[in-house]
Copies of this chain bind each other. A is one copy, B any other.
Amino acid sequence: MASTAKVRPVSHASPSIGDLAARYRDVRGLTERLRGPLSAEDCQVQSMDDASPTKWHLAHTSWFFETFVLAPANPDYRPFHPDFAVLFNSYYQQVGPQHPRPRRGMLTRPTLDDVEAYRAHVDRHVLELLGRANGRSEPLSAIIELGLHHEQQHQELILTDAKHLLAANPLRPTYRATAAGAPHAKTVALRWLAHAGGVSEIGHKGRGFAFDNESPRHRTLLTPFALATRLVTNGEYLAFIEDAGYRNPALWLSDGWSTLHALDWQAPLYWERRDGAWFEFTLAGLQPLALDAPVCHVSFYEADAYATWTGARLPTEAEWEVSAAGARIEGNLLDSDRLHPVAARDGAGLQQLFGDVWEWTRSAYAPYPGYRAPNGALGEYNGKFMCNQQVLRGGSCATPASHIRATYRNFFPPNARWQFSGIRLAKDA
């Protein structure tokens, strides 16, 4: 996602209304808990154009329910505040004008308290609506389900944007004191799992929720390949740095080499060298670099250069999805509450497919064959990001487990580094 959520359901389960209300309370409540460690000031500041203030995330997700659930359901519904439609619309041009994205941090009013009241107001009305619906309303539950997945995307952004803000402070403050957990004793060996290629199907099928960009399910033709059984570690990436990886143009895409120089990249985002030792800034503050943990906060350019250095390459998104198709959705996701990637365990098959870090693919984000963006404001916007972005797969330590799946297509510009993004290698077999 291009730093804010792009959403459109193409299919969904029909949970009972009671289940949906419980899920609504769960998701909305988790957002509040994620906000908990942050002061009113932390929630206010926008540390770069790509990030948003936590307060804005809190309000925007509520605006989403107000605009797409409450207003359509009740012609007499009066918005909580008439100006919020402009302040908290992200990019839905068919809904109306938007406060400029880089100036979200200027909005000291409404205050955090005001926004909390806004959330409570929206919650009350949504839950009332669900109570009245009494199980009859299929479109209603679909759009609420969508709103919840949308909010889960913003939960991840709350964490990554807060991390970026805190890292901008020379005090290197913590979001939460608990560290990610003790490092493992040694790094699991990297092995290759081969795939024979041929025609496979990818894309969403079945009745669960998915975004429109995961459809249509379609056949794709793969040449034989192999995937690395685990993610690239900090230790492996450090060897690339120490081998002058950031100074060797032969390893880099042309745009990557320019970006590296323009932004003076010398290591992943949040790495710091102090007195000869490497540290990384985490949500638990500055920590010694854990060599066996997955490398994180690298751009697509860095991921690609690293892969080139090893003689391998990044996987395509189809290779990834075909390989992940049967896997259980488990791993170091947000639910594990570690908030940082951890070292792989030994085991058969592909490890760390879900959670830890989003895995850059070599696939440019593009429409699937036969894809058509849906009509209306909600459907307006997945397709419009299908240029200049790369697909990432698998979710991260900041992704809710109920939000991720094998067909999920995340996407960011190739220079983005503030998400929990890392590297899995692939090679031709």
Contacts and interface: CB of A to CB of B under 8 A. Distances in A.
Interface string A40-58: 1111110100000001000
A87 interface: yes
Nearest to A91: B254
Given A83-B170, A93-B250, A221-B221, 6 more contacts: A2-B254, A40-B44, A253-B386, A254-B384, A300-B387, A370-B428
Interface in A72-124: 83, 86-87, 91, 93-94, 99, 103, 105-112
A245 interface: no
B255 A170 contact: no
B87 A388 contact: no
A27 to B, nearest CB: 26
Contact of A370 (B109, B219, B223): B223
A194 to B, nearest CB: 15
A179 interface: no
Interface stretch (A63-71, A334-342, A349-357, A361-369): A361-369
B42 A87 contact: no
A366 to B, nearest CB: 6
16 contacts: A41-B43, A41-B44, A42-B108, A44-B44, A44-B45, A47-B106, A86-B170, A87-B171, A106-B168, A109-B173, A110-B171, A300-B387, A301-B387, A364-B364, A364-B366, A364-B387
A365 to B, nearest CB: 8
Contact of A40 (B40, B253, B384, B414): B40
A252 interface: yes
Nearest to A362: B366
A169 B106 contact: yes
A223 B219 CA distance: 9
Nearest to A428: B370
A99 B165 CA distance: 15
A86 to B, nearest CB: 7
B170 A252 contact: no
A16 interface: no
A330 interface: no
B169 A109 contact: yes
A199 interface: yes
A251 to B, nearest CB: 9
Given A44-B45, A254-B385, A428-B370, A199 B221 contact: yes
The 10 A-B residue pairs with the shortest CB-CB distance in the complex, in nearest-first order: A364-B364, A221-B221, A41-B108, A41-B44, A93-B249, A106-B168, A254-B384, A223-B369, A109-B173, A42-B108
Interface in A178-232: 199, 218-223
Given A385-B254, A414-B387, A108 B169 contact: yes
Given A370-B223, A370-B428, A108 B254 contact: no
Given A40-B39, A47-B106, A364-B366, A170 B384 contact: no
Contact of A45 (B105, B385, B428): B105
Most buried by B among A105, A108, A386: A108
Nearest to A174: B109
A380 interface: yes
A162 B385 CA distance: 34
A256 interface: yes
A250 to B, nearest CB: 6
A35 B286 CA distance: 33
Contacts of A168: 103, 106
Contacts of A106: 45, 47, 165, 168-169
A213 B383 CA distance: 28
A345 to B, nearest CB: 32
A375 to B, nearest CB: 10
Interface in A261-318: 300-301, 304
Most buried by B among A43, A112, A254: A254
A77 to B, nearest CB: 21
Contacts of A386: 253
